[in-house]
Chains A and B, each alone.
Chain A
């Protein structure tokens, strides 16, 4: 689920240790369906699809790597992963019989530093000693994979801040290629940094979730930066989104009450036509407002 932010790093790390890294293919409909079939109904779509990815990998590999993001220390406080991210390996083990050996990367800075976690990860792969140091040094600089298509036709340039988790907005199957649709309409999409960001200052009230810290911080910068509108893209049954969206809406109401905000929810039943209609009308609204100003 953190693949769009960290996949490059992890892949390089594993290769530097001397293993072959097998990465699941980009999401497709059959993975979605396979995940949905075995997952509890109330799980969010990205977690269901994660299970779909595991199913395609489990018979092809000797060791399965699953990250577990528990706690990071930032801004003098502790920030946690969402419960689903924390329990991901446990849930996977309970749902999928016949898994290969699972090796976890546990990021829990209450107990050990991030560097130490990578040392433990290497040990999990059977590589003790200091080999991890070099692997980490080489891999940590690998950038995030954020394929973001730019606008295709120049024209009435509208800028929309897209506030959503990278594992949703960058996955074209989950988000029904929302970013591409925006680009196709000549819109410039402004995106958050993904799970890597560490903002300079803490927003006024932010719950202690590091992914949400990134989103709230990004929304606040976008608002100050003068985007024309905010698009809040969330997964249905995502537990943290209603909290984040509420905080973002409140922030907009205080700082730029005239800026339009659209909330869109995605799940396995989302239909493309519904999304297109909503995006089109939102973009039309922003253009009309823009013309009114000039």
Chain B
């Protein structure tokens, strides 16, 4: 069984390991590029959101690589994201592709469990053991990538050459991919801080801090935002995303993530009563939390035409005024130009620097 899943950020590093551990063969197409985007644009309805187009293009690539199962997280709610798997199946079937759709919904859990047992020769206990091992290895891989990404974002703005931090991150990710045993991963993780500390610094003490919020795919997958997190780092800003691949996969949720989610929801409550998807409530809550945590600004990245992100925008603007924190909203789609993005980010960063330089307002 050759399994593919939508490509986003670095979630393939743990997922690849998990699939292999439970006895499936993962198909990983590599990051989206112009070709994938054009394929998605041609096949998808014009007014669909950009994550749909990119994942669709990537799935075609996976099928061409021989995938026979496509796995999507899914659900039935108000945002279009819940229907990606089933809509893409219609489009791909019309193109003549045949595959099995694995729609990861709550009501599908029994059939997913059966599939894993099937992969292990029908032996239940063996399947349970392998799944447990898979999740363990997956968690360690995911946590190692998370740590490295965090350190790279902290290091880049203060580095003499921001590219050094980037190169080190790439090296670490390659090592995480290769490491298959938990002790190796533990050792790798414990040495990370030391390695990033060794990157030569530029002598600045503290970088301005920007919280990056928005729709999950746009926050996690660099292709669609022209790698905004890295860009901000190169501009001397510490960009802290509210959501990372690790958190999105839910690995974070077992630990401190749940608390944080509750705090964000509570903060957003005054402005927003119903979560409608696209991380609307979360983004809003994190904007308010960021204001209290001393962040200098908030950047909101979302797909053009994204329903939840569009309706939440006025509330974000209102909250940013009430809590006195600068807010930049960036709407991205297939026509977004890299230069345009860059210019807006530069203007925003210089605004933040001016605000920091001004004397503190009397309370």
Contacts and interface: CB of A to CB of B under 8 A. Distances in A.
A247 B80 CA distance: 14
Contact of B47 (A39, A40, A237): A237
16 contacts: A40-B314, A81-B78, A82-B78, A83-B79, A83-B278, A87-B308, A90-B274, A91-B315, A94-B314, A95-B314, A208-B82, A240-B80, A243-B45, A243-B48, A243-B80, A246-B90
B276 A83 contact: yes
Interface of B: 45-49, 76-80, 82-83, 86-87, 90-91, 94, 271-274, 276-278, 280, 304-308, 310-315, 317-318, 331
A143 interface: no
B19 to A, nearest CB: 27
B76 A94 contact: no
Given A237-B47, A241-B47, A87 B272 contact: yes
| Top-5 shortest CB links A-B | A239-B307, A83-B276, A242-B45, A94-B314, A208-B76
A274 B96 CA distance: 37
Contacts of A83: 78-79, 276-278, 280, 307-308, 311
A225 interface: no
Contact of B304 (A42, A70, A241): A42
A84 B307 contact: yes
Interface residues of A, number: 39
Contact of A80 (B78, B312, B313, B317): B78
Contact of A90 (B45, B80, B90, B271): B271
Interface of A: 39-40, 42-43, 47, 68, 70, 77-78, 80-84, 86-87, 89-91, 93-95, 205, 207-209, 236-243, 245-247, 250, 265
Contacts of A90: 271-274, 311, 315
Given A94-B317, A247-B90, 13 more contacts: A39-B314, A42-B313, A87-B272, A87-B274, A87-B308, A91-B314, A94-B315, A95-B314, A205-B86, A237-B305, A241-B47, A243-B48, A246-B45
Nearest to A77: B76
Contacts of B49: 239
Contacts of A80: 76-78
Given A82-B78, A239-B80, A87 B45 contact: no
A68 B271 contact: no
B127 to A, nearest CB: 31
A239 B90 contact: no
Nearest to A234: B47
A241 B76 CA distance: 17
Contacts of B90: 205, 246-247, 250
Contacts of A238: 47
A21 to B, nearest CB: 24
A262 B86 CA distance: 24
A91 B311 CA distance: 6
A104 to B, nearest CB: 9
Contacts of A207: 76, 80, 82-83
Nearest to B310: A42
A68 B311 CA distance: 14
A8 to B, nearest CB: 26
A239 B274 CA distance: 18
Given A243-B45, A243-B87, A84 B311 contact: yes
B310 A237 contact: yes
Give the most central of A47, A77, A90: most B CB within 10 Å: A90
